[in-house]
Amino acid sequence: MLALSRRVGEEVVIGDPAKPDGVIRIVAIHGDKVRLSFDFPRSTAINRRELAEQKKQHPQAANDPQPDRDRPDQPDQPD
């Protein structure tokens, strides 16, 4: 496991830096909450841990491979 310290606006590049698989950016930090953005191909499933566990327990919940991805036409929800 790799643990990193990052500040708002900083990024972590996943994969080859010349052609990354994706990028994780620190968007905001409010108290004990950290807001992240994920820039990965749509074919990459991205799930919160609790949702991934739920999908393992209930495979029918896996019908939507990327339910955590924001739709571009939906505004961010407040924390």
* pTM (predicted TM-score): 0.69
Domain-located, residue 20: yes
Helix (H, G, I), strand (E, B) or coil at 60: helix
3 located within any domain: no
- Asked if the structure places residue 41 within a domain, the reply is yes
Report if residue 69 sits inside a domain.
no
Question: Among residues 68, 12, 21, which one has the least CA distance to residue 3?
Answer: 12
Q: What is the pLDDT of residues 5-54, one digit of tens each?
A: 999 999 999 999 999 999 999 999 999 999 999 999 999 989 899 988 98
The count of domains in the chain is 1
Three-state DSSP class for residue 52: helix
Q: Domain residues for 56? A: 11-63
